[in-house]
Amino acid sequence: MKYSWIIVLLILMNFLFCSENPATVPVELPSAIPADYKPPARSYWPTNGWQAVANDIPKNSFDELDKYLFSRTGDEKDRKGIRTDGFIFIHNGKIVYEKYARGFSQETPHLAWSVTKSFVNAFYGVAQKEGIINKNDFAAQYYKPLAVEEKKAIRLSDLLEMSSGLFWDEGYESSPLKSSVIAMLYTSGREDMAGFAAAMPVEHKPGERFYYSSGTSNILMKILQVKLGEQYAKWPWEKIFNPLGMKNVTLEKDKSGNYVGSSYLYATPRDMAKFGFLYLNDGIWENRRILPEGWVRYSTTLAKSYYLTPTNKYLVKENTGAHWWLNQGIPERDQPKPWPAAPRDTFCATGHWGQYICIIPSYDAVIVRVGDDRDGSFSLNRVFKLAGDILGGIN
């Protein structure tokens, strides 16, 4: 018994000072986009195709980037090493570097995996602009499976910020037997993915814990399906793909007719770059507002739930906005930026096995990389370092 007070003291100290405890939420949440951000004036828009810069950039400027992206260290059988399928680098609205490998070309659509989630964000931005929904609405008013007592408090913004409180296990190859996402995409949930995700039990109050969940993206798309009715089938094309000139896009549905917003968009890197360019330009395309004013800033603001979630290794690499991933970190909690070599205003759509659309407003740049990485050897931070070196030499 004489040591019991020491044990109690240690427990209290752990509770008060352990890094696992959540930090205080700042009054103003940090955003990649300043409140007064104004995109550069554009002399042209790439709706009908991207322009390339004149050949006044030294050819060797891209040697290190090219070597890093496209030097093969494995073979097709072992699927090891960096396996880049395509890369495009947009600066000041024009292509400064583009290359493809492994049988891909600028005309080949590539599976975007979870990059698709950021398109869900765009669909919701348009829906908010047109008064179809409001991100502060309760999801239950649109989708009956959430209209039960323990789930009625979930708002659309909680789903967008992946803080619904619904249980989810996003494990992939490392834990296929207990993975919620594997079950949703391939086994018991594949016919109605949103219904599968919405049926998950509640673990936390909405808005209080961030946890990456592909299920929430499909719930969001199901809500649009319910709300839009017959318009839903053509809606992504009418509102986003066609206005941007994304001419070769596929977005797959599950058996219930719902677009799989978590994972199943196919597009060429050039078309993905157009989507990134929309966000670089604050939701404006051809001088017409596609996304509502303030939507890009909202989407690239660190979610409140991010601060309320106890520190863990996943928070360091997953600075969450609203279906976009940021480079903010939390200095006061000793959480570094996910990509130290990139400016703090960088934000990205990211996908399994190395898919990226990255926007860097301070560089006036969009970077798209698609690939098939299986061993985790690819470093997006290394790409940012090499891209910054190139821009420092040509600006």
pLDDT tens for 361-378 read: 999 999 999 999 999 899
65 located within any domain = no
Cα distance between residue 258 and residue 194, in whole Å: 8
* Residue 9 scores a pLDDT above 60: no
Token pair in block for residue 218: 């499909």
The strand order across the sheet containing 365-371 reads: 94-100, 84-91, 365-371, 355-360, 347-351, 325-326, 319-320
Per the domain annotation, does 274 fall within a domain?
A: yes
Question: When comparing pLDDT for 366 and 73, which is higher?
Answer: 366
Mean pLDDT, to the nearest integer, of 270-277? 98
Give 142-187 pLDDT, tens digit per residue: 999 999 999 999 999 999 999 999 999 998 766 677 899 999 999 9
Q: What is the pLDDT of residues 13-42, one digit of tens each?
A: 443 334 444 557 888 899 999 888 999 999
Domain assignment present for residue 64? The answer is no
Mean pLDDT of 341-345: 96
Full domain range(s) for residue 129: 82-394
Residue 271: which CATH number?
A: 3.40.710.10
Whether 31 is in a domain gets the answer: no
- Please write the tens of the pLDDT for every residue from 306-334: 989 887 777 777 899 999 999 998 888 88
How many domains would you assign to the chain? 1
Residue 59 within a domain: no
Label residue 84 by pLDDT band (50, 70, 90).
Answer: very high
What is the mean predicted confidence (pLDDT) over 105-115?
A: 97
Is there a domain that residue 234 lies in? yes
Is position 68 within any domain?
A: no
Tell me the pLDDT tens digit for each residue of 231-263: 999 999 999 999 999 999 999 999 999 999 999
Q: Does residue 73 sit within a domain?
A: no
